[in-house]
Amino acid sequence: MKVILVIVLTVLAVPCEADMMGTASKYKSMHERSISFLSINPRRVSWCGAFLAFVAKRSSRQPPPNPNMAVSWRKFGKPVFFRAARRGDVVVIRTGRRFHVSLFDHIDQRRQYVYLFGGNQSNRVQLSRYRASSVVAVRR
């Protein structure tokens, strides 16, 4: 089983030209126990930024300086108005006194919740719902 996992992770880690959402989707449902390719300890580090940096590099994009810190993604790419967000845009949200970074998927019809796809969401890579009012920045 370990041999198969190593082979799969090696194949997925090969750099390729792709959009960030397409690249991130390849890791859907991956649990934090399986993210050794990020070279961080997920029990000590909030790994949302590290995962997004990995995805950005595989998508031929340059992550911001200090990419493991979610708040640093407010300087990534170019700013976008929240109402103009498109699938795959980088979204930084505030969660209490901390920040979280992920990729925009969609917003509900009442515009109360935003659905984001990324790492460190319930200890795995997945789509999760957040309050739209918590969005701090949208970047493309």
Q: Are 26 and 12 in contact (CB under 8 A)?
A: yes
Question: What pLDDT sits at residue 106?
Answer: 98
Choice between 11 and 40, residue whose per-residue pLDDT is larger: 40
Tokens of 50: 């590290």
Residue 89 CB burial class (10 angstroms; 0-12, 13-18, ≥19) = buried
Residue type, 2: K
Q: What is the pLDDT of residues 65-124, one digit of tens each?
A: 999 999 999 999 999 999 999 999 999 999 999 999 999 999 999 999 999 999 999 999
Give the whole-number percent of the chain exceeding pLDDT 70. 87
Give the dihedral sign, CA 96/119/39/43: positive
Residue type, 1: M
Q: Provide mean pLDDT across the span 116-138.
A: 97
